[in-house]
Amino acid sequence: MRKTLLSVRAGLTADDVSETAAELAGRALELPELTGARTVAAYVSVGREPGTRALLDALRERGVRVLLPVLLADNDLDWAAYEGAERLVAARRGLLEPAGPRLGPEAVTAADAVLLPGLAVDRRGLRLGRGGGSYDRVLARLAAAGSDPALVVLLYDGELLDEVPAEEHDRPVQAAVTPSSVRRFSSPL
């Protein structure tokens, strides 16, 4: 399933990615989960991922503290504040990370909302990631801390599926944003 979804994304042009990024940002910025947020944990999109840069900048302009991940050697995530595109640096695996001070893996527990990368979300709100486990650790850390931020995934149209493979530790998201819609998930598993 991951291979198929990544293949479809690989067929997108740079213009496709750019156009949908603006649409995604517009839809996401209207979410109540983001309009009232003081701190949002997000990520910098790379390659053919749904674009996040316009959204990151818009949140920052609103005065929202935006935390971005820093990939650690064991695939866990540390966090640092987003200080603008000019303060992003190239990192392992083609990622872009903030250049500022590291805040520690626990910093994510202060977020009011967490924007999660994903390849698809199913009708239950379960997210299919790339399989590295980094965000599974983040979600486990949030649960262990008793933190309950809104969990939101940014996707392309066509990546809302009937079912994705799930494991016992998987946690549903509250919303998936695509260029053409917002899909909400409220029923527990």
Amino acid identity at 15: D
Q: Which two tokens stand for residue 16?
A: 């496709």
Its sign, for the CA torsion 25, 100, 113, 46, is positive
Torsion of CA 126, 130, 134, 138, to 10 degrees: -20
Query: What pTM, to 2 d.p., does this model score?
Result: 0.93
Going from the N-terminus, what domains does the chain have, and what CATH number goes with each? 2-183 (3.40.50.10420)
Q: Which two tokens stand for residue 59?
A: 């949140």
Q: Which of 114, 105, 182, 185 is nearest to 149 (CA)?
A: 114
CA distance 164 to 18: 27
Q: Which residues of the chain have pLDDT under 50?
A: 188-189
Q: Which two tokens stand for residue 162?
A: 């009937």
DSSP class of 165: -
